[in-house]
Amino acid sequence: MFEGIDLSKLNLNDVMKQVQDMAEKAKEDNEDKIFTSKAGGGMVELSINGNSEVIDLKIDDSLLEDKDSLQILLISAMNDVIKQSDENKKMMAMSMMGGVNPFAQK
């Protein structure tokens, strides 16, 4: 399976450093990505960045008197935008794993 690869030269510290560097770069890249979800025909709009930090929330004034509807729409928007961010993180993780090659020649 590992024919032609000298496993004794595999440096785990180099692999871990490479993974840490890629994770830090991904976190920085995610700060610039914005995911937005609207609920109730746009009565509630929630935006988060790729690190799942809420960056904006808009609520239509008409919802301020209807607590139950507001809660339902907020939950809907939050769940949707979190799914978007999670999918992005999965895609980034898959691409990161594709980029880690502990057997690469230096």
In a domain, 15, yes or no: no
In a domain, 70, yes or no: yes
In a domain, 22, yes or no: no
Full residue range of the structural domain in which residue 56 is found: 33-94
Q: Is residue 6 predicted with pLDDT exceeding 60?
A: no
Res 89: pLDDT: 84
pLDDT in tens, 13-50: 777 787 788 878 877 878 889 999 999 999 999 999 98
In a domain, 62, yes or no: yes
What are the angstrom distances between the C-alpha of 40 and each of 30, 62, 87, 93? 27, 12, 23, 32
In a domain, 4, yes or no: no
In a domain, 106, yes or no: no
pTM reported for the whole predicted model = 0.67
Q: Is residue 1 predicted with pLDDT exceeding 50?
A: no
- What CATH number does the domain containing 52 carry? 3.30.1310.10
Count of the separate structural domains present in the chain = 1
CA pair distance 23, 89, nearest whole angstrom = 11
In a domain, 3, yes or no: no
